[in-house]
Amino acid sequence: MSNPVPKDMLSVATRIDVELHAKNGASKKGSGSGFWVKDALHHPARFMDFVTNRHVVDMWYNSRAAGYSLTRVRLQSFDVDGNAFPAFTVESGYVVVRAPKNDKLDLALLSFDFDQLASYLHSLPGKQVMLSNADLMDGSDRCKDMPWGAQISFVSYQAWVDSKVGRPILRTGTVASDPRHDYQSNEINRDDIYLLEAMSFAGSSGSLVIANPEGDPFRNSIKGPGIRPYRPPYIIGIMSGHLRNERDSREMYKMHTGLSYCHKVLPLVRILAGEEEMLTLEGENEILSPWLGYFLRR
């Protein structure tokens, strides 16, 4: 029996909106989903990073639109009761964007000016829900035994979000590829992928993919035929896109085959542990603070 994912775990979903400008005056906007991770191990001076897909913040990555620089980032999240927090808006010069040197990993880390981030968190009327490295490592370990066809959930900011205040929506699916192996496709050139039977659309990129809890926690100590041990929810990956079939004559399949894909959580664990070589896409000359934070170029 698969159960709903607890709302405190779903509430990590955060909307990201970005603005980018080129030297010739051209501009682009993008949006997606993401989540905060605290206690990042790869740099003890940073206490929080924001995770999303690289293609959300880097126009060159998918569209090969070169020459664009990030000029503004806006993050919007909600508390566990669905109440909107004030948005966190940061201009260029106060954010560093990093991505793996391996460009088959569509992942990005955003780190923010300590003063601005600390001031923002202090101003919130409630607690910003975020993940820890332990949450991610636990998910990576549990994925080793994940069954083929496991039921999953993801919360994201697709076009059909609540029109009043922009609350995200939850969608569900199953793990379609054999989780014991990396999925490969001629349509996507990515490493460490699960294929999902799930409806990811624009706005879903960067959202957390969670394996639904199974079993009854109140009967976990009872043994016997037909009684499945309780298994808590765990993180399996980061939603990264969906598959189309351009050759199909049916318009619906040209737009979406009903299959999406996510990066496994393992490469993110490696990134946060400092085990993945990284590139700096935005932000230069960072200056470490002698205490719990760091500042970026002014």
pTM value? Answer: 0.87
149 with 231, same domain?
Answer: yes
Give the per-residue pLDDT at 290: 33
Q: Residue 80 carries which DSSP code?
A: T
146 with 234, same domain?
Answer: yes
194 with 290, same domain?
Answer: no
In a domain? residue 8: no
Give the per-residue pLDDT at 103: 92
State how far the Cα of 152 lies from the Cα of 278, in Å rounded to an integer: 29
State how far the Cα of 195 lies from the Cα of 142, in Å rounded to an integer: 17
State how far the Cα of 21 lies from the Cα of 72, in Å rounded to an integer: 10
Query: 267 near 54, Cβ under 8 Å?
Result: no
Residue owning tokens 């808006």:
89
Ranges of H-type helices in 124-228:
133-142
In a domain? residue 87: yes
202 with 215, same domain?
Answer: yes
pLDDT tens for each residue of the chain, 298 residues long: 568 898 889 999 999 999 999 888 899 899 999 999 986 554 544 568 999 999 999 988 876 677 888 999 999 999 999 999 999 999 988 999 999 999 999 999 999 988 888 888 888 888 788 898 889 999 999 999 999 999 999 999 998 999 899 999 999 999 999 999 999 888 888 999 999 999 898 899 999 999 999 877 766 566 666 666 788 999 999 999 988 776 665 665 567 788 999 999 999 999 988 899 999 998 864 533 333 333 333 2
Q: Which neighbouring-strand residues pair with 187?
A: none
Q: Which neighbouring-strand residues pair with 73?
A: 18, 90
In a domain? residue 4: no
Angle at 239 between CA 51 and CA 50, to 5 degrees: 5
- The CATH code of the domain that includes 186 is 2.40.10.10
Helix (H) or strand (E) holding 229: none
21 with 89, same domain?
Answer: yes
Strands annotated E in 121-233: 131-132, 151-156, 169-175, 193-197, 208-211
User: Exposure pattern of 74-84 as b/e (b: 16+ CB <10 Å)?
Assistant: ebbbbbeeeee
State how far the Cα of 54 lies from the Cα of 205, in Å rounded to an integer: 9
Q: Which two tokens stand for residue 216?
A: 């009854």
Residues 158-208 have pLDDT tens digits of: 989 998 999 999 999 999 999 999 998 888 889 999 999 998 988 999 999
In a domain? residue 5: no
86 with 105, same domain?
Answer: yes
18 with 126, same domain?
Answer: yes
Count of structural domains, the chain: 2
Give the per-residue pLDDT at 113: 86
Q: Residue 231 carries which DSSP code?
A: B
Could you tell me which of 276, 272, 274, 298 has the C-alpha nearest to residue 287? 298
In a domain? residue 7: no
87 with 138, same domain?
Answer: no
69 with 89, same domain?
Answer: yes
In a domain? residue 1: no
State how far the Cα of 266 lies from the Cα of 139, in Å rounded to an integer: 8
125 with 170, same domain?
Answer: no
In a domain? residue 3: no
Range of the domain at 40: 13-131+271-295
State how far the Cα of 6 lies from the Cα of 184, in Å rounded to an integer: 32
44 with 24, same domain?
Answer: yes
Give the per-residue pLDDT at 140: 94
